[in-house]
Amino acid sequence: MPTRRTVTGRSREPRARFAEELRALRAGHGHSLRQLGERLGWDWSLFGKMENGETLGGPEVVEALDQHYGTPGLLLALWELAVSDQTQFKERYRRYMALEAEATSLWHFAVSVLPGLLQTPGYAREVLAAGGLKGEELAQQVEARMGRRVLLDGEDAPPFRTILSEAVLRTPLRDTDEWRAQLEYVSEVAERPGVTVHVLPQSAGLHGLVGSAVMFLRLPDGRPVAYTENTYWGELIEEHAHIERLQRNYDVVRDLALSPSESRKFVLRLLEEVPCDPSN
């Protein structure tokens, strides 16, 4: 029996560590994804999604992989850590949502997708579907995200500022009509009292927030908190030193961004570039 490999710390984030180990084991055995699928009797695309971090798979397939690679219990242990970590992530996100609901002001930077507070149903549906949601779960998540938008409605809405990387606005939806509706919604919300929208042009170059989206919240007691996220991971930050460092980077990005009026003109120019459906 092959010597059992130890769980090393190449990747500290459990989901990424699990995917990394899957890739390394398959490469070490010289199998393609299709060959792996044929040998184990699962659709090869499942293994691709597991190696890309899109899904964790189930315990049955993980146990089969452990047996196939001769790593008894290793992959299952990593899988359990990833599943547990995912649960903890959801708990942290729920805490963030509770804090967002009571925030007295919010400021945000978008690195790749629009913030949920500015998304239309069509945009939210495509973004969430790209993350693997489907069916009833997808519909529920879209509805929940739309429910968050009421935070910016009414006279008592907290001030909200967002800086949108140009890449966010240059990445259209597959449905042209939905993309037009999304840009129109951004333009409309930008005119509301208390909402400030900036666009960060690509010409601004690299900066301290280039790898993460971040939302800052000012709580009723005056204390700030931050929430950072990337494609697979989110983190609620409450330590003052870390928030201060993020805030300094945010201030630099804001200085590089277009003014609110220039930003709205930028969005309107993009709207003019969206092809019109001749059937309408």
Residue 253's Cβ-count burial label (10 Å; 0-12, 13-18, 19+) is: buried
Q: Is 106 helix (H, G, I), strand (E, B) or coil?
A: strand
Residue 48, both tokens: 């691709």
| Ordered per-residue pLDDT tens for the chain, 280 residues | 333 344 444 445 778 888 899 999 999 999 999 999 999 998 888 898 888 887 788 888 888 998 999 987 788 888 877 766 655 556 667 788 888 888 999 999 999 999 999 999 999 999 988 878 788 888 888 888 888 888 898 888 899 999 999 999 999 999 999 999 999 999 999 999 999 999 999 999 999 998 889 999 999 999 999 999 876 667 889 999 999 999 999 999 999 999 999 999 999 999 999 987 655 5
Q: What is the pTM of this model?
A: 0.68
Residue 65's Cβ-count burial label (10 Å; 0-12, 13-18, 19+) is: buried
> By C-alpha distance, which of 271, 278, 89 is closest to 187?
271
Residue 66 CB partners (closer than 8 Å, separation 6+): 72, 73, 74, 75, 76
Q: Is 255 helix (H, G, I), strand (E, B) or coil?
A: helix
d(CA 237, CA 240): 8
Q: Which helix (H) or strand (E) holds 177?
A: helix 176-189
What is the residue whose two structure tokens read 């280039």? Answer: 210
d(CA 135, CA 33): 27
Residue 240, both tokens: 């003052």
User: Are the CB atoms for 149 and 160 separated by under 8 Å?
Assistant: no
Sign of CA dihedral 201, 142, 14, 243: positive
Phi and psi at residue 275, to the nearest 5°: -60, 140
d(CA 48, CA 181): 34
Phi and psi at residue 120, to the nearest 5°: -85, 165
Q: How many residues does the chain have?
A: 280
User: Are the CB atoms for 141 and 171 separated by under 8 Å?
Assistant: no
- Please give the DSSP secondary-structure letter assigned to residue 200: E
CA neighbours closer than 13 Å in the CB half-sphere of residue 44:
10
Residue 241's Cβ-count burial label (10 Å; 0-12, 13-18, 19+) is: exposed
Radius of gyration from C-alpha coordinates of the chain:
22
User: What would the pLDDT profile of 231-263 be if each residue is shown by its tens digit?
Assistant: 666 788 999 999 999 999 999 999 999 999 999
